[in-house]
Structure formats: structure tokens, C-alpha cells
Structure 1
Amino acid sequence: MLALAPCEPSGKGRDYQVGPGAGQIASLDQVPWERLAAGDTVRIFHRSTPYRGKIMLNAEGRADAPVRVCGVRGPNGERPVVDGKDATTRPGLKYAHPLYEQNSVVTIHRLQPQLWEAYPKYIQIDGLSIRGAHPQYSFTDSTGVRRPYVEFGACVWVERGHNIVIADNEITDCTQAIFSRSSDEWQNQGKGEFSVTRNLRISGNYMHGNGVAGSYLIHTTYVQSANVVYEFNRYGPMRPGALGNALKDRSVGPVIRYNRIEGGAHSIDLVETEDYAETAKLDPAYRSSWVYGNQIVKDGRTGTTIHYGGDHAGNEASYRKGTLYFFNNTVHVTGDDYAVLFQLSTTEEKAEVWNNVFMFDPAIKYPRMREKQDNAPGIASGGILNLGRNWIDARWSDAGPWHTVGGKLNGAANLITGTTPPVDLATMRPLAGSPVLDNAQAGPAAAQAYVVAYEMQNPTELAKRLVVGSGLDLGAVERQ
């Protein structure tokens, strides 16, 4: 679990206080973002009105002295609000390109005067309410010109950086909550991994109301990084009419654990890298994705629940073609037509699936395990799905009565089936006498380092997961 220290000076750098008090910096455009250095802290104090400004982080912190921007909460626990709507950028601040002003409220990237291979390091942003980067809003840029936000943007945009933490924020009313990018440019120049976003931690955030109505290309989070951890977050519903995914990832070695994920076309979309394919394919971790301890609730009519592999026809050489490890999750699919759990892009993708609970609303006519992928004609899809011990609605079928899915489904005999949910749908906690109690099995050897140690409760409170009884329960929550 990521433990956040109070929003106080580190004692290893300067302390910038932004707030309504005497002697404090009155607005975000007065903060010298371009001069932040290792150990510096920017503390944003709660006030009754939003801070209509922007945050630009290009500094190089250290492991023992990160650069931190944090919120000091109000008397009732209110986060200070940083709003991109009608925001004013710090005058004269030289973003690497004007586009980075137009796509985000918080930007992590080098500045124009810096060397091309410069990148931020050891940055932490926590305790804020961040909102307002959307094409329906405008802001005043660093040259004093009024500009609208572009459609493909985010509340928090990480263009490059190593050891970045985004934690305990509410992120809403943007096109995307968080976007990160990596590229292969460093290989072309032979100068370290300056163009790869590495070691990104997204922890304990509440992200909701993001997306663009009518667009399936804009998601709640859209991340392309090496070694990313998503943990303890709540993904709330997207903006009405938005068609994107909840969590879309093109990263190396993603770990997705202990989150509450609601809505999205796909709840989790793990697909091939785009801009740093050569870097990714050289890393063995690209072939493994870890998804465990999550609560997932989605409408089955919007798309498959879990997608793994790739999504660009003609780019199959860069597909993940590895293993999705999916265990101790509780999945509740809603709706009244068909619903699908897994979509594996090609028969070179594999999923190891154990200790989960899979529930479908009674009105769903065709609760299905797998779906083929239609955007890669001529490519055998369906993947290799290996089932361990899981609980699933007894009405399930592999592909439904009118579908054919390639690949293989192994281990159907290991499933525990029932006709009524074995958990309370509000809390996801197992019911007394449920067949999921104490029934977890050991996973494959490759998964032994990934211990199910926490759970989300009620559904947003984090707690250690304590084994009650003779063994771990199936699903994301233990019965107490």
C-alpha cells in the first residue's frame, strides 16, 4: 500500500505555499514551476474557490528528495481544486510545444530551453481535485492568448518521466483523467531512456466523469509506460455518451490491483504498444500482465469486459503475445442482452484465470466466456484461456449459440457454478455459506510473488485482506 506523508515540507528543499493566507502565493501562475528542484514542495491549501491555473513539472527530483505538489485539505477534508477552465498559465513559461498547454491541466515534461533528452524524475502529485481540460473550456496561455483545449488531452499528461506518483486525487471533467506516453526516440539518439516514461504509480485516485461524448478513442486512463502500477483507484462512470474504455494500457509489465472499476466499453483494455514498440519488445516484462484483487462492474452491452493482446490490424507483430494473469477479481456484468468476459486477440495470447467470481445479471440472455476479435481479419483469435477454480453463473457458455471462437478453452471442469450470486452485490463480500468461502487455489509458479494482500471495501475503503477460515476466499473481498 502506498503510504502518503502529510502535505508538509520535506526539509530538503524549498517550501512554496499557495493559498489564501497572509504571505502565501495567491495563484498557481505565480509559482516558479521552471525553477523547482529536488526536495521542493508546492503545498496548495484549500480555499472555497478553485485555483484556475496550471501545473508544469519539469524538475529532476531524487529518490531521497522528490519534487512534490500536494493538497492541504480543508476543515471537512475537502481537497483544494485545480481547475483548467478559465485557467491562467504562468506567463513566459516555455512549454516544449504549444500543444502541451492545450491538452492538460497538469503537464510532466521537459521545457523548451532544456536539452532534448531532459526528462523529469521523482515527481509526486497528491491530494488535489483536478478538473477542466476539455474542448468545451478555454484558458489563457503563457503568451496571454485565449485558447481552447484540444480533444485528445488529459487532466494529467505525462509526456516523459521516471518515478512518477499520481495519488489520492479526484480527477474529473477532462477528456482523459491520466495519459502517459513513451517513444523509441532514445534508441535513435543512443542517450539513455529519456523518451520512456518509466515507473509510473497511479494510486488511490477517484476518477469519474471523463471522456468525450461519441468518441471511443478517449478513455479514463490511457497509459503507455514501462512498469506501471494501478492500485486502490476508483474508476467511476465516464461522461454521459462517452464510448471509451475505463482503463486502457499499452505498457510494459502492468500491475492492476485492488481497484474498483465501473463502466467503460472495456473495463480493462491491455493492448500492444504504439510509439515504443522496439523498446517494449526487448523487455521480457512486456509479455506478462497482472490483474488481481479488483472489483469490476460494467454493462455487458458496451463491449467485452477484459481485452488482451492488440487492437490494430496489420500491427500483429507488436501484439502482447504473452500471458494475462487474472486472479481473485470479482466481476459483475449488468445488462439485458449478451455479455462477454474475455477477448484475446490471437491464438498467441494466453490467459491464466483462477480464484475469480463471475456474475451476470439475470436479464442477460447469453452470458459468454469468450469473444473473437473482428478487427484483424485472417488472424485466428480467441487465445488460450486456462481456467482454474472460479465461481461463475451456471448459464455461462464459451461463445454462445451463434458464435465461433478460435483458440482453446481449458479447465471448464474446474469451475464452480451456481444460479444466485455468491456475494453481496453492494459490498462484493461473500455470503454466509457461499461456495466461494475458503476455496482459493494456489496459482502458477510465475504468480507466487503477487500476493493478494489488500481489498477495497464499501466500495472505496482500503483494508488489509485477512484470511478468515481455512483459506482465502474466491474473489476480491474476504468474508469477515
Structure 2
Amino acid sequence: MFSKILNIITLCVFCHIVFANPLYATTYNVGPNQQFKELDEIDWLSLKGGDTVLIFGRDIPYRTKIGLHTMASEDQPLTIKGVRGRNGKFPVISGQNATTPKSLNGFFNAKWDEANALIFIKRSSQMKWGEKPQNIIIEGIEFRDALIGNSFTDQFGNKREYSKSSSAIWANLIENLTIQNCLFVNNGNAIFVLSKDSEADLSRNILIKNNTFSDNGVANSYFQHNIYTQASGVRIEGNLIKPLKQLSQGAAIKDRSAGTVIKNNKIYAGTYAIDLVDPEDSYSLMLNEPDFDKTYVVGNVIISKSRSDDRPFASRLIHYGGDTTVYNIYRKGTLFFLYNTLYLDINQSDNQRKSRWRTALFIMDTNEEKVFAANNIIYSKGDTTLSWLSKFGQLEIAGGNWLKHPITEGADNQVFAGAVEKTGKLHYGTYIGFENEQYNDFRLTSDSPARYKAQALPVVFELEGTLLNEQLNTKSRLMPRESLFDLGAYEYIQAPPRAQHSTDLDQQQQLMTSRKLIPRANLLDLGAYEHTAR
């Protein structure tokens, strides 16, 4: 009897060691000179917590669709990670001519979701009701070409076109998802996260950090965006969000979530820069989630320029409310808009570029929505008529805010029904002291009138150690913010002289000896080359 008990104990200890210890997790290496040559060799549905798939960069894209349903743990997540190849290139996964691998036969619903994404995360038929994919990290990969008009081969061998709603990463259901240090190019949506009206179908805890977005969206459509989220707990930080593609009418960021934090991003506006609306698919739960009534937009650089190349720009910058006309599920809370730098270059008439007679900073749909704006820089270069609000909403202008000139409370073509309360100080001037306006470098110069103009507020004290402790660096990535004395997204930091500014939206390059471009890590050395150790 004793020996049987001992055997059982031994077996339990063995199982604990094997299945709970990350030392027994598996790493799958995919790429040139690796164990696996292609992504279709991975059994995606058998991946477990602690497993890592390393995708090595190569000269040609990978063309395999991926499905995930892993229930991992916080201490042993499932990680899908890119390893840069020659010249620091990201591994690329392209949706154009991609194939659904045999290991995913039956995972996709051929009618409803197979045409929707390159990476699709959902509860599969192998999982019990109430179980959710959990704790997945995706990092260091370029995702591109998941776009209507491009085609893929489905699980039955049929060539099909992507849906209009297609996304590079589509999470139908997920708890604890991190997407970081990735590049998203030429997709419909870049990232899409969904929730529905039961706890079993509610996505939670999404982190989108340090990614670059470029040329996403669908021409002549309002429904595709760089980031589109509906979850409880969404944090979007440190991203470079470049303009959407030509003729796209989407937003840079669209969100239907609770507890949303958008911080320290560089955002080139779409039709909206940020579109914060009602949780149309999950309202019965989302309205009761903690912090549904509080949204934070902090430390961002937001740029809206009318353009000559048919790319979208915003004359309605920040939308806070809803878009379904079901008004009882609208936001009806407070948007805290703190330490942001807004740069507007929009004219009432322009022979070379599109024009807008009027521009509103905040759009609210009822008077039950409120914006608390403090310690921002609002710089309007063009002659568009600028207003704080359009028709509805409550605005408190607190702390210190810098403007080039006074602006009206409501739009000049509306009967204003909202309310504006000025409890802080407004600073005006024609000179703001940006480091290099031509190249979208909005760091402050030493003589900037925005220095030492910020005012301490209760909400600032509350957030100082959490949301206000970082800022962007010159490569649009996060670095510490040491103080909160200066207005806008940047505190003044004395920097070493730089030889030149980037003309390609935050990227520098230099020549290698074979006359091909390689990354330039810094701008401290004079001339065409920086010193590189050999």
C-alpha cells in the first residue's frame, strides 16, 4: 500500500515538474538554417504555455496564416517572436498568397472568419464554453497585406479574397494579449480585438506597445483603422501611428473599451485621430466594468495635416461618446486629456491640398460626456476656424494650456448647447519653440514659452507615478520623463547636436560598404557614417 502511495506522489511531482516548469517548454525555431523552414510546419493548436516560436528574418516573406487558442499563464505565456535577419530586418508575414496550413483544418469557420486575418485568436471547438485563450505575446514581426483585393488559399485548397474587415491580427476573444515592437503595413485593420455580451466572450487586458503602423485602412471606407479595440482594459502606448493609406476614411485609433489608456504615442490623424465610442457588442457587461467612465489620453503627439496625396486628416480630432445612436450606452464619463501636443496644419482654402473651413478639437454627442484638458500644447498653423467643441459636451480647461490664438467654444455652424469652464490658465503666442517643425519633431527648444507653464492638479498627482512618468524619444519610443513642469508631450531635455533630421517619419539610415542602406543607431557623429565597432 505504501509503495502505491509513493508511486502516486512521485507521478504527481513528475507531472508538476514537466507541465508547470518552463524548463520543459518548447522553443520552435523557424527560418533559414533552422529546425523548421516554414510556418506551416508548426502545429499551432498544440502550443502550450511557456512555448516560444522564434521566427527568423529572411529575404522573402513567410506566407502562412496562423490560428491560436492557447490557454497559457502569466508566468508562462505563449510567445510568438521575430528574430531580425540581415541588416536588422523584421521577419515578414504577408497575407498576399498566404495559405491556411493543414494543422488548422477545422479551426477556422470558412464562412465567417477564415478571410478575416493573418493571425486569428479565438475559442476553438476543442475548448469548453467559458474557456478563453490567455497570455499570448506577439513581438518583433512585420505583418502586411491582409487586405481586401489580396488573396489566400483556404483550408479546402480554394483561392479566396480577404474580407473588407480583414486584420493583420484579429482577436475574437483573448485575456492578456501583448503586441509589441511589431510593424503593420498595408492591412485593412492592423489590430482588431472583439468582445461580446457575456463574461465568457469578454476580452480583457490588451497591451499594444512600441509598434509602427503605416498605410493601413481601406480606400473609401470609414470602417477600418490602425487599431480597433473592444475589451476591458486597453493600453496603447509608445506607438508610431503613421498616416492611413490614400482615400481611407478610418481613424488612427478606434476604441469601444473600458479602462482605456492611450499614452505617449505619435499619432498621424485619420478622419479622427482618436475615436472613443460605445461598446456596441458588449455593452451589458462593459458599462459596468471598472473605469468605463474614465479614459486617459496622456503625453501624445497628435498631428493633423491637410495633404495633397488623398490621405485622410482630421478636422474633428478627438471623438468621445458613441456612434450607434443608442445613447444610453454612450461613454457618459470623463476623458482626461493631459500633456498632449496637438499640431494642426489645416487651411480654409488651399489650391494644393484639401481644405476645411472649421476644425473642432473635441466632439461629444451628448452633454453627459466631459473632457478635462490640462497642460497641453495646441498649435494651429493654418487659418481653419478652430473651436474647442462642436455642439455638445462639457469641457473643463484646467492647469496650463498653450494656444497660438484664442479659439471659440463651439463650432460656428452649430447652435452651441454644451458648456466650457476655464479653471486654469491659457497661454497665447505665435512662437512655441519646436525643435524642428518641418520634420515633425515637436520636442521643446530651450527658449520655448511652454517650459515651466504646467500646473499641478489633483489628477496629475494621482497619475504621476503611473501614466505621466514617460515620454517619446526621437525614434518615437518610450523614455523616462523626469518632471511635469513643461506643457505638452515632451519635457525639455538638453540634447547633443544632431547632424540632420529624418525626412522619412522617424527613421535614419546610412550606407554600408556595399552601398546598401543599414540602420543608423544615433546622430552623434558628423558626416554620412557613424562609428561602428568591427
What TM-score, normalized to structure 1? Answer: 0.90
Once residues 393 and 199 of structure 1 are traced to their aligned partners in structure 2, the CA distance between those partners, rounded to angstroms, is: 39
Once residues 352 and 383 of structure 1 are traced to their aligned partners in structure 2, the CA distance between those partners, rounded to angstroms, is: 9
CA offsets, 1:170-221, max 9 Å, x none?
011110100000011x3xxxxxx32111001001110111100000111111
Once residues 148 and 257 of structure 1 are traced to their aligned partners in structure 2, the CA distance between those partners, rounded to angstroms, is: 35
Give the equivalent residue in structure 1 for 2:500: none
In structure 2, relative to structure 1, the CA distance for the partners of 1:244 and 1:252 (3 Å cut) is: same
Please state how far the C-alpha of 1:242 moved relative to its aligned partner. 0.2
Structure of larger gyration radius: 2
Please state how far the C-alpha of 1:422 moved relative to its aligned partner. 3.8
After superposition, the CA RMSD in angstroms is: 1.8
Once residues 134 and 304 of structure 2 are traced to their aligned partners in structure 1, the CA distance between those partners, rounded to angstroms, is: 36
Give the equivalent residue in structure 2 for 1:305: 317
Note if 1:150 corresponds to 2:156: no
Residues 387 and 409 of structure 1 are in contact (CA less than 8 Å); yes or no, is this contact kept in structure 2?
A: no
Residues 427 and 459 of structure 1 are in contact (CA less than 8 Å); yes or no, is this contact kept in structure 2?
A: no
Note if 1:456 corresponds to 2:472: yes
Choose from 230, 237, 244 the match for 1:238: 244
CA offsets, 1:327-384, max 9 Å, x none?
00001012112222111221101111101000111x3231221112xxxxxxxx2334
Residues 292 and 326 of structure 1 are in contact (CA less than 8 Å); yes or no, is this contact kept in structure 2?
A: yes
Note if 1:58 corresponds to 2:83: no
Give the equivalent residue in structure 1 for 2:288: 282
Residues 339 and 364 of structure 1 are in contact (CA less than 8 Å); yes or no, is this contact kept in structure 2?
A: no
Give the equivalent residue in structure 2 for 1:177: 190
Point out the more displaced range, 392-401 or 116-125: 392-401
Once residues 96 and 55 of structure 1 are traced to their aligned partners in structure 2, the CA distance between those partners, rounded to angstroms, is: 10
Identical columns (%): 33
Choose from 330, 333, 344 the match for 1:322: 333
Note if 1:438 corresponds to 2:458: no
In structure 2, relative to structure 1, the CA distance for the partners of 1:133 and 1:356 (3 Å cut) is: same
CA offsets, 1:400-451, max 9 Å, x none?
5443322211107621111233433332112333221122112334861344
The letter for the 1-side match of 2:216 is N
| Structure-to-structure mapping, 1:159-308, within 5 angstroms | 159-184=172-197, 186=198, 193-299=199-305, 302-308=314-320
CA offsets, 1:194-252, max 9 Å, x none?
21110010011101111000001111111001001001011111011100100000000
Choose from 491, 501, 520 the match for 1:478: 491
SS class of match (1:429)? strand
Note if 1:103 corresponds to 2:151: no
SS class of match (1:156)? strand
In structure 2, relative to structure 1, the CA distance for the partners of 1:63 and 1:348 (3 Å cut) is: same
SS class of match (2:113)? helix
In structure 2, relative to structure 1, the CA distance for the partners of 1:146 and 1:287 (3 Å cut) is: same
Choose from 328, 331, 346 the match for 2:366: 346
Please state how far the C-alpha of 1:393 moved relative to its aligned partner. 1.6
Give the equivalent residue in structure 2 for 1:357: 377
Give the equivalent residue in structure 1 for 2:147: 134
Once residues 469 and 93 of structure 2 are traced to their aligned partners in structure 1, the CA distance between those partners, rounded to angstroms, is: 33
| Structure-to-structure mapping, 1:395-406, within 5 angstroms | 395-406=406-417
Once residues 231 and 369 of structure 2 are traced to their aligned partners in structure 1, the CA distance between those partners, rounded to angstroms, is: 20
Once residues 18 and 473 of structure 1 are traced to their aligned partners in structure 2, the CA distance between those partners, rounded to angstroms, is: 47
Once residues 312 and 330 of structure 1 are traced to their aligned partners in structure 2, the CA distance between those partners, rounded to angstroms, is: 30
Residues 333 and 339 of structure 1 are in contact (CA less than 8 Å); yes or no, is this contact kept in structure 2?
A: no
Residues 255 and 290 of structure 1 are in contact (CA less than 8 Å); yes or no, is this contact kept in structure 2?
A: yes
Note if 1:371 corresponds to 2:390: yes
Residues 217 and 248 of structure 2 are in contact (CA less than 8 Å); yes or no, is this contact kept in structure 1?
A: yes
Once residues 24 and 471 of structure 2 are traced to their aligned partners in structure 1, the CA distance between those partners, rounded to angstroms, is: 35
The letter for the 2-side match of 1:52 is R
Once residues 441 and 392 of structure 1 are traced to their aligned partners in structure 2, the CA distance between those partners, rounded to angstroms, is: 16
SS class of match (2:102)? coil
Residues 68 and 125 of structure 1 are in contact (CA less than 8 Å); yes or no, is this contact kept in structure 2?
A: yes
Choose from 97, 122, 125 the match for 1:112: 125
Once residues 255 and 410 of structure 2 are traced to their aligned partners in structure 1, the CA distance between those partners, rounded to angstroms, is: 25
Once residues 147 and 255 of structure 2 are traced to their aligned partners in structure 1, the CA distance between those partners, rounded to angstroms, is: 21
Once residues 459 and 327 of structure 1 are traced to their aligned partners in structure 2, the CA distance between those partners, rounded to angstroms, is: 22
Identify unmatched segments of 5+ residues in structure 1: 1-8, 187-192, 373-380
Residues 323 and 349 of structure 1 are in contact (CA less than 8 Å); yes or no, is this contact kept in structure 2?
A: yes
What TM-score, normalized to structure 2? Answer: 0.81
SS class of match (1:253)? strand
Once residues 446 and 258 of structure 1 are traced to their aligned partners in structure 2, the CA distance between those partners, rounded to angstroms, is: 15
Residues 351 and 385 of structure 1 are in contact (CA less than 8 Å); yes or no, is this contact kept in structure 2?
A: yes
* Residues matched between the structures, number: 451
Give the equivalent residue in structure 2 for 1:87: 98
Note if 1:71 corresponds to 2:85: no
Residues 44 and 71 of structure 1 are in contact (CA less than 8 Å); yes or no, is this contact kept in structure 2?
A: yes
Once residues 32 and 177 of structure 2 are traced to their aligned partners in structure 1, the CA distance between those partners, rounded to angstroms, is: 28
Once residues 92 and 245 of structure 2 are traced to their aligned partners in structure 1, the CA distance between those partners, rounded to angstroms, is: 19
Point out the more displaced range, 119-128 or 302-311: 302-311
Identify unmatched segments of 5+ residues in structure 2: 1-20, 307-312, 349-357, 494-534
Residues 232 and 289 of structure 2 are in contact (CA less than 8 Å); yes or no, is this contact kept in structure 1?
A: no
CA offsets, 1:22-70, max 9 Å, x none?
5x21211111001000100111011111001112111011111000000
